[in-house]
Structure 1
Amino acid sequence: MPRTSSTTMRSPANLHLTSDLVSRTLRVVEEEGPEPNWTPISPEQLDQLVGRVEKEAGEEEIWVFAYGSLMWNPGFEVAGIENAVAFGWHRAFSLRIERLRATSDAPGLMLALQPGGSCSGLILKLPCATKKEDLRKLLAREIRYVEVCDMVRWVTVKTRTGTRRALTFWASPKQSPLTDKVPLNEAAALIAQACGPAGSCAEYLHRTVVDLAERQIFDRSLWQLQKLVAARLEALPPAINPA
């Protein structure tokens, strides 16, 4: 996802992780290639994945369940939007990364859906006129490697108008230990240290909790996590950001 400075985001008054703290995590990081030991998805494999999703969707509109960065940076022209809850799922920083917003020397975590609980978010409709192009762009952004091709699936979500089937991205247990459940203290340590070419993990967390707060969505786990990350960053001296 493209890097966007967290300094443009207003933090809720009771949010511990502020844009000033996030700025301490940002630095210029050069691209290092693909994730170690992961296989970049080829254009042909991406086309196959697009075809699979199109076949599963049939003639229906495609809605995407957004619970993290897709809420504040969907990457496509949204044709429709509804509040939604996915029961049987919860958001968690559980996908281990060494690229994008991290490096091999300072690995980090990104959000994914884990089984259990419930998750409040949004469903976003792909425009009918550009559905195939937008779907391919979305899958290319979220599914960068062959090893995570099974991390795209359909879930049933509840909206104010009833239930819908929506496409989403989850933490497949087949990829353990990439998607093992990470204790909050360990997650906070990884998020506080990680920065890559796309920005830092703390920036990603900050943007997500700010967006959730603005939408009046309270995620207890993420709220605890941002407090733990803030405490770690407060212990660091302010850094001069050359970016």
Structure 2
Amino acid sequence: MDDFWVFGYGSLMWRPGFAHVETRKARLFGYRRALCVHSHVHRGTPDRPGLVLGLDRGGSCIGLAFRVPGDLSGEVIAYLRERELVTNVYLERRLPVRLHGGPVVEALAYVVDRTHPQYAGHLDPEHAALRVSGAVGQSGRNEEYVLNTLAHLKALGIRDHWLEAVAARITDSWPDGAGLSSPPPRP
């Protein structure tokens, strides 16, 4: 099998967890990074769900594309399915992405299933911040998830204006900007 590409837009960018031989910035058209998935375990509870990222329809998303050797396809796809398809809120798709300074390639990506009960829908920054603020799950505070994601994006030179607007509303509600001075966790 030939080498293939995987598109990461969230934690896959700084913690891919699979072998790859090349990493390139890439843009996926037709989908945007959004806090559109209710988290009932890692960043919230069933009584007070938080929000985590998904690729939702509309706009475009800058992320990272990873080129995976073809001989590792079975191993890498199995790993990604175990990681991304736990509750089946994401759909596995092969979508065209434009590599920065290069061609369009087909990449494996995980997009949100809009029919899944965990789909939160399209939220404006104000409503997303309200759902994130105060939600806590097994992996910690939902605010930390958003702010760490934004710090990682910034470190990679990637701007996400919508996520920045959500983060601004979250930090405005935190006393003394708590948690803002800590660096993102190491991958």
Question: TM range, normalised to the smaller chain?
Answer: 0.7 to 0.9
Farther-moved stretch of structure 1 (214-223 vs 127-136): 127-136
Q: Please tell me whether the aligned partners of residues 89 and 118 of structure 2 are also in contact (alpha carbons under 8 angstroms).
A: no
SS of the residue aligned with 2:154?
helix
5+ residue gaps, structure 2: 180-187
Give the Cα–Cα distance (whole angstroms) in 2 for the partners of residues 180 and 110 of structure 1: 12
Equivalences for residues 138-217 of structure 1 within 5 A: 138-145=80-87, 147-148=88-89, 151-159=91-99, 160-175=101-116, 178-217=119-158
**In structure 2, what residue type is equivalent to 1:85?**
R
**Are the aligned partners of 1:172 and 1:179 in contact in 2 as well (CA < 8 Å)?**
no
The answer to which structure has the higher helix fraction is 1
Poorly superposed stretches of 4+, deviation over 6 Å: 235-238
Q: TM-score, normalization: structure 1?
A: 0.67
In the alignment, what sits opposite 1:67? 9
Tell me: CA distance 1:237–1:136, structure 2 relative to 1, closer, same or farther (3 Å): closer
Cα contact 2:33–2:61 (8 A) shared by 1: yes
Q: Supply the RMSD in Å over aligned alpha carbons.
A: 2.2
- Which runs of structure 2 are paired with 1:44-193 in the superposition (5 Å)? 59-145=1-87, 147-148=88-89, 151-159=91-99, 160-175=101-116, 178-193=119-134
Structure whose residues are more often strand by fraction: 2
Q: Percent identity?
A: 30
Can you list the C-alpha shifts for 1:43-80, whole angstroms capped at 9, x where unaligned? xxxxxxxxxxxxxxxx3322111111111111223321
Q: Given residue 116 of structure 1, which amino acid in structure 2 is its aligned partner? A: G
Q: CA deviation at 1:139?
A: 1.1
Distance in 2, Cα, partners of 1:182 & 1:78: 34
Structure 2 letter corresponding to 1:181: H
- Contact 2:26-2:97 within 8 A present in 1 as well: yes
With over 3 angstroms needed to count, the CA separation of the structure-2 counterparts of 1:97 and 1:165, relative to structure 1, is: same
Aligned mates of 1:127, 1:204 — CA distance in 2: 31
CA deviation string 1:179-235 (max 9, x = no partner): 411232221122121221222322221221112112221111011011011112227
Output the amino acid matched with 1:141.
R
Superposed displacement of residue 137, structure 1: 1.3
Higher-Rg member (1/2): 1
Q: Which amino acid aligns with 1:233?
A: W
Q: Which residues of structure 1 form unaligned runs of 5+?
A: 1-58, 239-243
Query: Relative to 1, partners in 2 of residues 1:127 and 1:194: Cα closer, same or farther, differing over 3 Å?
Result: farther
